[in-house]
Amino acid sequence: MTSPRPPFRWRLLTVPTVLSLLGALAFAPMASSASAAPAAAFSDDFDGPAGAAADGAKWNYETGDNHGNNHERQWYTDGAANAALDGMGHLVITAKKEDSGHQCWYGPCQYTSARLNTSGKFATAGGHIEVRMKLPRGQGMWPAFWMLGGGNWPADGEIDVMENIGREPNTVHGTIHGPGYSGAGGIGAPFQGPNFSDGFHTYAVDWTGGKIVWSVDGHAYQTRTPADLHGNRWVFDHPFHLILNLAVGGDWPGDPDGNTPFPQQLVVDYVHAR
């Protein structure tokens, strides 16, 4: 990554200033996940009528301004206008430029969006975790699919399966954060491909106790093990829950500009973990 990313959400974290590429795999075909450590199974194909909320047995809606972390601009809501099924097997997270009726760190919040997590409903300590989705486009957009190991960040760890910033439409990032390698010091790598807002792509990690492999559309591009941590502690040995969100603005992506069209949508086809 070429730009520093400041401390993230309440966890929260950021993508590293320096992206270590040690252990990265160049477009190697993804190995079978059959060898992954046994883990709890999770599946959501987002089937349901248009306008319905995400399954409450699987997902929590977070609300608020993310405590001003990263200087993001959105107010997260739990309303269907910002996150709902489309009736065609997708969850659609919509970022809008509108008066939210709430105060953010910079004054009246000018944008709304949504963030969902599985905390208290699903967590896994390994396996194959995959999402298929179509990214939004435009300066200031910040979609992410990621995982947290608890509320004590960075000691509990974070795995960013996929992050993208709108000014880099052809690049996604995968990163880990933990004690001694958090925030701008997180360890990760970028993957360059097509314009990820033009269609659906799969983003996944294959995670065993001592190894995490990232892939896009089945092509592995990065592997991390304790050897990459320069003596720091590997904390990816306990259950992590899942998070989907679409942030607007912030120190890393920058704010939307006059050329950013709204509304913007993160369209999620499925989330699977096995």
Contact 236, 175 (CB under 8 A): no
DSSP 185: G
Cβ proximity of 143 and 263 under 8 Å: no
DSSP 2-46: -S-----SSS-----SS---TT--SSEEPPPGGGSPP---EEE--
From 62, 72, 130, 158, the catalytic residue? 158
Pick the catalytic residue from 62, 72, 130, 163.
163
Active site residue 158: yes
Alpha carbon separation from 68 to 132, 221, 249 (Å, rounded): 29, 32, 11
Contact predicate 49/40, CB 8 Å: no
- Burial code (b: 16+ CB inside 10 Å, e: under 16) for 79-98 equals eeebbbbbeeebbbbbbbbe
Alpha-carbon gap, residue 130 to 13, rounded angstroms: 21
Active site residues: 158, 163
